Amino acid sequence: MRALMMRLERAAGLDRFGDRLQKSVQSVLRPQRVRDALHGVWLGHPLHPALVQLPVGAWLSTAVLDLLPGQRRAATVLVTVGTASAVPAAIAGLNDWAALSREQRRVGLVHAMSNTVGLACYAGSIAARLTGRHRLGRTLGWFGLTAASAGAYIGGHLAYKQGAQVNQSVSELHRMTDGWHSVADLATVPERTLLTREIRDVSVILYRHGDEVTVMLERCPHQSGPLGEGKVTEIDGHACVVCPWHGSAFQLNGGEVVHGPAATDQQVLPTRVVDGVLQTRLP
């Protein structure tokens, strides 16, 4: 399975279709508000993995009920709930997928295809059950579960091996040592300008607003984009840094994510000033 996943990552033949699908997703889900809602900006975590719990739970429960006598009605209700709830989960997943790297999109495409086959089997299963062909409905349900399980395996590779939609910056904290670290003479930090500094190979950005200086990890939590090369812009009355790679925006006075595709806040570090020197430490 590992070798197969590695081949999928390198399957450039998927790019033509993937690129076209990416453009379609981006043009259909154009409003920023819609994209942010589907990424899970409001939740502080990616929305797609949370939404998939409902179809997975309902479909697995259907499979159990299909093994028990006298549960046809309950199984039909559950398979319908699972199939209906898979639609918003798929839309949220497509929205995340459209902002992934090319290697991740190849694997994500096969993940989506497996789940689409599963969804089609379950739609057929519902139709069969509602027309009294319960044996066919059960069989299609088992096929659907098989395809959805393959999709889940591929989704696991996408998230845990390729790091799609996981926080890419927080591991930087593990490379920082305890204690206070000097980052700059406060007098040399200009107002409302992004500065980049290194703390033992961990890159941070500094942003001064009045007497306050924000120190924030520089790597974007979405795909490690360099926030130090981003633009500072005001969003809803807050100064925000906008990632130069895919446009995620984070408040500079706390790190809260304002626009996706990142769905998690950016880590801000505590600060103090000692003898005119700005210092920071692990949170």
Residues binding ligand FES (CB under 6 A): 220, 222-223, 225, 243, 245-248, 261-262
Chain center to CA of 106: 16
CB of 10 to ligand FES, least distance (A): 22
Q: Is 244 helix (H, G, I), strand (E, B) or coil?
A: coil
Look-up of token digits 């926080």? 167
End-to-end Cα, the chain, rounded Å = 39
CB of 259 to ligand FES, least distance (A): 9
Contact between 98 and 141 (Cβ < 8 Å):
no
| Phi, psi for residue 247 in degrees, rounded to 5 | 85, 10
- Burial class of residue 97 in the structure, from the number of CB atoms within 10 Å of its CB (0-12 exposed, 13-18 middle, 19+ buried): buried
CB of 5 to ligand FES, least distance (A): 23
Residue placing its CB nearer to ligand FES in the complex, 162 or 248? 248
CB of 264 to ligand FES, least distance (A): 11
CA atoms in the 13 A half-sphere facing the CB of 265: 13
| Phi, psi for residue 224 in degrees, rounded to 5 | 70, 25
In Å, what is the CA distance from 281 to each residue of 43, 80, 172, 173? 27, 51, 13, 10
CB of 29 to ligand FES, least distance (A): 16
Residue placing its CB nearer to ligand FES in the complex, 65 or 227? 227
Residue placing its CB nearer to ligand FES in the complex, 118 or 247? 247
Residue placing its CB nearer to ligand FES in the complex, 119 or 242? 242
Residue placing its CB nearer to ligand FES in the complex, 59 or 245? 245
CB of 241 to ligand FES, least distance (A): 10
Residue placing its CB nearer to ligand FES in the complex, 57 or 103? 103
